[in-house]
């Protein structure tokens, strides 16, 4: 039984089809909107059809004032909204159904007790530190490069511009009101969405859990799909009777996310100095980024070499 039918619960259910899990979600409709930028590595581990890839990106340009650093990357834009809608039709999905987790072996649905292995995929509970994200959808522009903009006043945050074939996503995340950091685009505005993203250390959970409920998002970017993809296979192994793989993967994820958290907290404390130093060292350079896109804690070492 999977409680929560966001990307974590539905991608997991898709990969556990042979166990025929039931997915309970309290929302009326599946399909959350987000930027959807993930590495190819993460996409492979989600194990879903390529039809949900809207675009591929080989370059990110990171700007700070008139300085810029180029990153060679291998990224995809996942159309998670459509993916979640389609997956909800493929698995046993129960919308408008709140499920109370009583224990790792029992849930309460509309007053009825249901027994079985419970997997929590309930998303972030809103407690603890967070950043705010706002994203605007505009008409498409002619580009195939992701732009990331850092600003001295947006401490610990950044803005982005992601060109897609049918639209352009521009947004900003950070503490407080980040609206003023959203890049301006001379195109027709189609839609605005966004929301809070946890910025905390990873949490403990009783029993099996996956996704933002664990606060397993990459600290700086707020990307949560990476950790979700890493826990899918270990959860399968656990259901097959080998709990070690899940415990080990959790331990390794926790080490990485908590390290990211410490590095970001340090950078936030000396934000202006970090930006000035980083960009004066690397202005005009092109760096290749592989696993560092997900494992940010390796990025610092890479930048310094
Ligand atoms: C603007 C924005 C941009 C983002 N961009 C990216 C990106 O580019 N790349 C990336 O990797 N990540 C990105 N993220 C983060 C990503 O969206 C999250 O990591 C992801 O949504 C987490 O998925 P989840 O399934 O764990 O949680 P959620 O998507 O929050 O789903 C949890 C579900 O559980 C349900 N639920 C909760 N409690 C119960 C209950 N008791 N009973 C029944 N149902 C319940 C909720 O209704 C919800 O549908 C972005 C987030 C935002 C806000």
3 neighbors 116 (Cβ within 8 angstroms): no
In whole angstroms, how far apart are CA 158 and each of 49, 62, 184, 209? 31, 10, 14, 29
In terms of residue numbers, what domain contains 46?
2-304
Nearest atom (ligand 1) to Cα of 134 = 1
Residue whose token pair is 């089809």 = 17
112 closest CA partner among 88, 94, 125, 92 = 94
**Ligand 1 pocket check for 212: Cβ under 6 Å:** yes
For residue 221, the CA-to-ligand 1 centroid distance in Å is 14
Compute the Cα dihedral for 138, 142, 147, 153 and give only its sign: negative
**Of 35, 102, 210, 296, best ligand 1 pocket probe by most atoms within 8 Å of the beta carbon:** 35
CATH number at residue 270: 3.50.50.60
For residue 136, the CA-to-ligand 1 centroid distance in Å is 18
> How do the pLDDT tens digits run along the chain, 305 residues long?
999 999 999 999 999 999 999 999 999 999 999 999 999 999 999 999 999 999 999 999 999 999 999 999 999 999 999 999 999 999 999 999 999 999 999 999 999 999 999 999 999 999 999 999 999 999 999 999 999 999 999 999 999 999 999 999 999 999 989 999 999 999 999 999 999 999 999 999 899 999 999 999 999 999 999 999 999 999 999 999 999 999 999 999 999 999 999 999 999 999 999 999 999 999 999 999 877 787 766 666 555 55
Q: Whose CA is nearest to atom 7 of ligand 1?
A: 36
Q: What is the SS3 assignment for 56?
A: strand
Strands (E), the chain: 2-3, 22-24, 37-39, 53-64, 67-78, 92-94, 99-103, 106-109, 112-115, 119-120, 130-138, 146-149, 158-163, 168-174, 189-198, 208-209, 286-288
For residue 7, the CA-to-ligand 1 centroid distance in Å is 6
What total number of domains does the chain contain?
1
Residue 80 contacts by C-beta under 8 Å, 6 or more apart in sequence? 7, 31, 32, 34, 36, 52, 225
**Ligand 1 pocket check for 217: Cβ under 6 Å:** yes
């Amino acid at each position: 039984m999977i409680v929560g039918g966001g990307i974590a619960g539905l991608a997991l259910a898709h990969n556990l089809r042979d166990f025929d899990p039931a997915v309970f979600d309290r929302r009326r409709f599946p399909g959350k909107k987000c930027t959807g930028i993930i590495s190819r590595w993460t996409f492979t581990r989600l194990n879903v059809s390529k039809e949900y890839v809207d675009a591929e990106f080989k370059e990110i340009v990171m700007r700070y004032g008139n300085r810029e650093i180029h990153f060679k990357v291998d990224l995809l834009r996942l159309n998670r909204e459509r993916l979640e809608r389609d997956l909800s039709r493929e698995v046993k999905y129960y919308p408008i159904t709140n499920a109370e987790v009583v224990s790792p072996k029992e849930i309460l649905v509309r007053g009825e007790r249901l027994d079985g292995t419970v997997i929590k995929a309930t998303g972030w509970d809103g407690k603890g530190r967070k950043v705010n994200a706002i994203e605007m959808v505009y008409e498409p522009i002619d580009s195939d490069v992701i732009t990331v903009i850092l600003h001295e006043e947006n401490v610990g945050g950044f803005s982005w511009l992601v060109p897609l074939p049918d639209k352009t996503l521009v947004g900003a995340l950070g503490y407080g009101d980040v609206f003023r950091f959203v890049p301006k685009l001379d195109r027709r505005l189609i839609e605005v969405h966004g929301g809070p993203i946890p910025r905390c250390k990873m949490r403990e959970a009783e029993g099996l859990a996956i996704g933002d409920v664990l606060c397993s998002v990459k600290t700086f970017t707020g990307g949560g799909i990476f950790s979700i993809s890493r826990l899918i296979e270990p959860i399968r192994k656990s259901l097959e009777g080998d709990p070690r793989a899940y415990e080990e993967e959790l331990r390794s994820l926790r080490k990485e996310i908590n390290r990211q958290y410490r590095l970001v907290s340090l950078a936030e404390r000396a934000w202006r100095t970090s930006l000035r130093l980083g960009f004066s060292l690397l202005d005009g350079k092109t760096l290749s980024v592989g696993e560092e896109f997900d494992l940010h804690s390796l990025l610092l070492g890479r930048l310094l070499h």
